[in-house]
Structure 1
């Protein structure tokens, strides 16, 4: 993603999810079954130009970079259907509009872009607001996507599918290669080596920080916990009235104690991410390394002159604890069909087919900077051999593809926004103030359990 505003909206969208509707049993996604009004969108207003005015329109809300170019490609090559696209807001802005349409029972697009972590809130109520695409044959496409992406859209529901995966955020490490080279310090491959690298840099005269732990970076924390095989959320659309929260596990505590120790040693900063101070620190060389999803490349590129190819940054595999450390992910989204869809079969077709060509996928990964969930692109020489000028023409996908392919997927909560807000409060106290991690995590679990009960969920 090359546009800073768009990128940071995607990054922060998980922290602006809306309150769920009251729960009531297992719910029902059948409200859209049988809908087939081919003329309902004839007067729909589009941001893009419709190429075949006589064809049926399918409306789409999406904020992907280069989405208009992808829509144009689809419309140019299809005579029967035309995509009518609108940017209804980026991340949370769009979710607010979707939630308002749900309350009004009208006004939603046929297809809505949702991040994986946002999807559960729209299927957790007494009435699901996303169409189960499994009823329309989507399961036959399962092998077209990575395992983690498919788990994200099926949400533990067996053959239910609530979205068509598009992109991912494989977790990697960004390194200021010039700093490591200057002080003759080895780039770490394990978390033990990571800590030692910080000590070695400091001993060699480096006056910055090894890295930063930004307590407000909501998605990074669960990814780091997942590296310790700590599953902090459990949720399935098969039992949408039940949730389980487990921040207070052995793995989570070990991760926080590790980073708390680095802060105490003066090796790691605690500046909040996505701030002016963080941007300055990142680009001035105050941080020698940073663990984050691969899409951070687009963000840091946006902080420098577009013609800057000094290639101070390189991407490496994220440090691991040991040989059993799993691949992890931070971010990603899908195209979901809303229960206000006008012609459900047409919308399902568009949701799947919009990115289902080599041309569209190449637009997505080149013009849009998306990291693809599509197996065909991940296995292609084109994608593997793509060079990033900003990273000194590094073939960065040689690092990221194994991570994306190895990620098994996560569960998210139907009240993820609230969970993230409370997570930030607790993690800030632990990392910044040195409070006991066990006490803080236990408190966080109780807070989220109490909230879940208030919203009508049963705690597993």
Structure 2
């Protein structure tokens, strides 16, 4: 999924009606609907192939999704998918929140990033259907452990989505720059810093990398590498959250980047801005640590840098550093689904065929959550011309298989906005790390309590 790290920060704060925690969050009653004709006049972006069949409405922005929808509709007589692109990320979530308030206008199935899902599950009334009631747990072994934990929100019996894609955390390297200055590609964070010094000493006038102030999701991934789970939320205890930012691991990571900035080795330009785009393609940054979906974004900027980038494993602190992930999304069935059982079936089956998965991986450039794809020689041996015909999945597949999953808050947008301010003060301005983290943790815990959640 080509969602950039800061994408979710634009999502509107969740309304109390949509997310309010507290005792009401334990009410999991949810009506099952079975109206097979309610979507008969639904407007679709795709052309429905069998107009007399039952329609299931889907909101999604996946690349090449129309080809996947057409494949499904061609091979099903009883159900047809009616697809709409309701916006990518935050615009879609805003529309869904509006539909929740209006109690109508939402889709049967919605594409949601893993980090956005908890906001629609916490609350007096859950707005995503627990798919365990429709046999989704029978499909657990089809997906990676990390993807499954993301949609089950803690690994319990409830399942609120069908995983589709992931974002294995890797390092992008301008191979031409490292080769020109005869600098070793780093494998550890200590070597990463040394590479910056070596490049500078050899005459490289750019930066080793960039620490983007608006890089919301990348920071929890960096913290996870240091063994820190900063945000905790489980569907098993929907009125409770955990926020752990004032910890040695988080402090170590932020002080590390703070020091790189002080040394002049790392830039602090916001990601996905015009300046950042120019810096990335012009070779001002020699390396960048990010999810593997960044390939599609960079090559969409300017092909002049084609062949210069390579993917390597992300630097580690030591041999115990876990493999981590940044990003990914799933299909979720909403509580406004007109035929809940049919929607649950489509949510699983839409990407279940070999043809659909092939479209997603090739035309859509999705990194799959499906074990079958990850185990295939075809996927492992795919070459990427933009990466100098490298086989990047030889690097990314082990990361995806080893990732254990993450947790996100029901008010992740607010947390991201606040962490951006605090982390920027530490890394860019040099503020005291421990004191800033302590203040941030207190602020987020207080906000959680105001929203009706208990905190650990």
Contact 2:122–2:410 (Cα < 8 Å) also in 1:
yes
Which of residues 387, 392, 402 in structure 2 aligns to 1:406? Answer: 402
What is the match of residue 389 of structure 2?
393
What is the match of residue 29 of structure 2?
30
Call closer, same or farther: CA 1:397–1:173 in 2, change over 3 Å: same
Per-residue deviation at 1:450? Answer: 1.0
Which of residues 291, 302, 306 in structure 2 aligns to 1:304? Answer: 302
Q: What are the residue-to-residue correspondences of 1:39-58 with 2, within 5 Å?
A: 39-58=37-56
Contact 1:293–1:331 (Cα < 8 Å) also in 2:
yes
Which of residues 359, 372, 377 in structure 2 aligns to 1:376? Answer: 372
What is the match of residue 4 of structure 1?
none
What is the match of residue 125 of structure 1?
123
What is the match of residue 162 of structure 1?
160
Provide TM-score, normalisation by structure 2: 0.97
Per-residue CA deviation, residues 199-230 of structure 1 (Å, 9 max, x unaligned), is: 11111111111111011110111100000001
* Counterpart Cα distance in 2 of 1:9 and 1:227: 20
Contact 2:118–2:408 (Cα < 8 Å) also in 1:
yes
Which of residues 312, 318, 323 in structure 2 aligns to 1:327? Answer: 323
Provide TM-score, normalisation by structure 1: 0.96
Which of residues 334, 353, 358 in structure 2 aligns to 1:357? Answer: 353
Verify: 1:458 aligned to 2:454, yes or no. yes
Per-residue deviation at 1:18? Answer: 3.0
* Counterpart Cα distance in 2 of 1:9 and 1:124: 25
Per-residue deviation at 1:27? Answer: 3.2
Call closer, same or farther: CA 1:191–1:426 in 2, change over 3 Å: same
Secondary structure of the structure 1 residue equivalent to 2:407: coil
Secondary structure of the structure 2 residue equivalent to 1:30: coil
* RMSD (Å), alpha carbons: 1.3
Contact 1:29–1:339 (Cα < 8 Å) also in 2:
no
Per-residue CA deviation, residues 143-197 of structure 1 (Å, 9 max, x unaligned), is: 1000000000000261100000000000000000000000000000000110111
Verify: 1:416 aligned to 2:431, yes or no. no
* Counterpart Cα distance in 2 of 1:267 and 1:246: 29
Per-residue CA deviation, residues 297-338 of structure 1 (Å, 9 max, x unaligned), is: 011101113xx5741100000000011000011100000000
* Counterpart Cα distance in 1 of 2:48 and 2:135: 28
What is the match of residue 275 of structure 1?
273
Deviates more, 1:258-267 or 1:406-415: 258-267
Per-residue deviation at 1:135? Answer: 0.9
Verify: 1:90 aligned to 2:88, yes or no. yes
* Counterpart Cα distance in 2 of 1:53 and 1:380: 36
Per-residue CA deviation, residues 103-162 of structure 1 (Å, 9 max, x unaligned), is: 111111000111100000001101100000001110010010000000000002611000
Per-residue deviation at 1:29? Answer: 3.8
Verify: 1:111 aligned to 2:109, yes or no. yes
* Counterpart Cα distance in 2 of 1:14 and 1:218: 7
Per-residue CA deviation, residues 250-305 of structure 1 (Å, 9 max, x unaligned), is: 10000011111111111111111111111111111111000000011011101113
* Counterpart Cα distance in 2 of 1:210 and 1:156: 37
Per-residue CA deviation, residues 80-102 of structure 1 (Å, 9 max, x unaligned), is: 11000011111011101111111
Verify: 1:439 aligned to 2:435, yes or no. yes
* Counterpart Cα distance in 2 of 1:94 and 1:453: 27
Verify: 1:448 aligned to 2:444, yes or no. yes
Per-residue deviation at 1:365? Answer: 0.9
* Counterpart Cα distance in 2 of 1:292 and 1:8: 12
What is the match of residue 13 of structure 2?
18
Contact 1:227–1:325 (Cα < 8 Å) also in 2:
yes
* Counterpart Cα distance in 1 of 2:207 and 2:171: 15
Secondary structure of the structure 2 residue equivalent to 1:316: strand
Which of residues 315, 318, 329 in structure 1 aligns to 2:311? Answer: 315
Secondary structure of the structure 1 residue equivalent to 2:400: helix
Contact 1:185–1:201 (Cα < 8 Å) also in 2:
yes
What is the match of residue 235 of structure 1?
233
What is the match of residue 78 of structure 2?
80
Number of equivalent positions: 452
Consecutive unaligned residues in structure 2, runs of 5 or more: none
* Counterpart Cα distance in 1 of 2:92 and 2:385: 33
* Counterpart Cα distance in 2 of 1:355 and 1:408: 23
Secondary structure of the structure 2 residue equivalent to 1:169: strand
* Counterpart Cα distance in 2 of 1:347 and 1:14: 29
Which of residues 337, 341, 346 in structure 2 aligns to 1:341? Answer: 337
